[in-house]
Structure 1
Amino acid sequence: MSRLRYGFGAQGLLTSWLASPLPDAVVEIAPDRVSAAISTAHGAHARVQACAVEALAAGAVVPALASHNIVDRAAVTEAVRAVLARLGSHAARVALIIPDLAGKVSVVRFDRVPARRDDLDQLVRWQVRKSIPFPVEEACITYTPGRSGPDGHEFIVVAARRDVVQEYEAAGAAAGVDAGLVELATFSVLNLVLALAEGTPAPQAGDCLVVHVRPEYTSIAILRDGDLIFFRNRPEDEEETLADVVHQTAMYYQDRLAGQGFARVLLGGRGRTAGAAGQARKDIEARLGVSVDAIDPTPAAALTDRIGMSPDVLDALAPLAGVFLRVQREAVGA
């Protein structure tokens, strides 16, 4: 079972993280809130010691691929400072999670992979430049190997405008923390899903559809044997319903990805209104004709007794725990 290994940041890719201690905390900056958690290793799993959430006023963060994201840096910085203070532990070095809308995810395939890393870097950049709405010279680009077979080698590529990534980092820096790693929210959730699958006594074979709902967007991913083979992000202002997008994804999966049916369908996150996630579950089950399970982080990231296990806490915890579990596992394997 693999991990989605990528990360932006001043430190570059994961090289510096693999030889370093785990981050003091993980912080997520979302359009409507800032959340944070601290965790300790507990065998192959994590134990969450504290979790805090601070609401943001509408418009403080407006995620987008090709324009500024942090509109009210003072408010975001104060929210970061507030959640870190409520954790009850000094944090100087953090991993940072940002909205999916701030990055562009692509699955690219090459018939042959260059032997030299520099040549592969150039090949990836050449491929990605056709799909991003800004010059590739202004982009942070990072990638991780995906599936390989007789028909080629796949890579999961994430691109974001450098100045957009720096906006999120600057909000953390103003609160006194160094964000050495920056991840997209749904990638963090996918790493949680992979960790949960690894902890199952008899892992279920087959493909897994993951739907991550946020008030501003929905991301849909398909995992096959631990590898990401499909990713789509849908802003909430699009006219297509979530059920329609899931149905289109299922058709593409069958026609283009040799899909034989989903062994698991997982749903996480929250929508704009109360009950939106529950309605999404019903709609997806009706379209696909299969049961949809909620993403529960607690089997892989247990909570201390002082943390209440409400739906809002579990929603906030899922991406935070995903980062802890991925970095923890890679630090051990480095």
Structure 2
Amino acid sequence: MTRAVRFDQYGDVDVLHVVDVPRPDDPSSGQVVVEVVAAGINPGEIAIRSGAMHERFPATFPSGQGSDFAGRVAAVGDGVTGVRPGDEVVGWSDKRSAQAEFVTADAGHVTPKPLTLDWIRAGGLFVAGVTAYAAVRAVALKPGETVAVSGAAGGVGSLAVQLARETGADVIGIAGEANERWLRAVGVTPVSYGDGLEDRLRAAAPDGVNAFIDTFGGGYVERALKLGVAADRIDTIIDFAAVQKFGVKGEGSAAASSAEVLAHMADLVAWGRVVMPVSAVYPLGRVREAYTELALRHTHGKIVLATGLPDAAGRQAAHG
């Protein structure tokens, strides 16, 4: 037996449990079993677990949870080439099953973990990494243009601002004042959210904002339109109603979920071209506390679950 996160009904964090499940030792053809070292958590999982996304992403009970993982290959199925037991990999699960000590995934959903990439960042990389990649690609930035990013210090936003800078664009990061120093350190102009935001954005970009990436929701698409940003230069990863209402783009993780994109992001983080902040690491057994912190929506970077930590361990800060 091995352990995995499960929930049997929609609800708050109280429905989450870590339970004993059969260890997956016999992968099907084209699949691999990975012994998980670290697994990421994401806001979308809160929406799915609460039932808020039932129409779009219904859960089947009992449900597992999580997409991101990094670990060591434990077994491979028939027909699998290019990966073997013992290999260190980073990957994702489409079965909401990554928050576990062992996960089964398609062999095409894993890629080698760079030696210089630590386990914690590897484990939390997939969703935030490919989502940021897709969002920046969607707004088609050119050198010298100006792009604003909401939620600029969050898991996706912190990567998106840096990928945007890689294009040669000037980047404005909308975040809390506590994140100003970090944003400046990665070459981003910080602008505080809240009342008067549109005036502050106009002051920061006197020649106008050419594109907008919304990672937070809560009306940022409407603000971007008021600033004169064209609908086809706005991408939101969270405000699906705005996509339907205003015809803006809604490209996120699904638009860039490939081993090639994940490998690219892993290399960027491994070699320091992109900094991936991690705000906290929790043991698997304290998954409720991890999601409680994430739900506050003030996280700088990612929160990650580490299967090797004893459940008695508390929250561990891991900024970077």
Q: Same fold (TM over 0.5)?
A: no
Structure richer in strand, relative to its length: 1
| TM-score, scaled to structure 1 | 0.31
User: Highest relative contact order (Cα 8 Å, sep 6+), 1 or 2?
Assistant: 1
| TM-score, scaled to structure 2 | 0.32
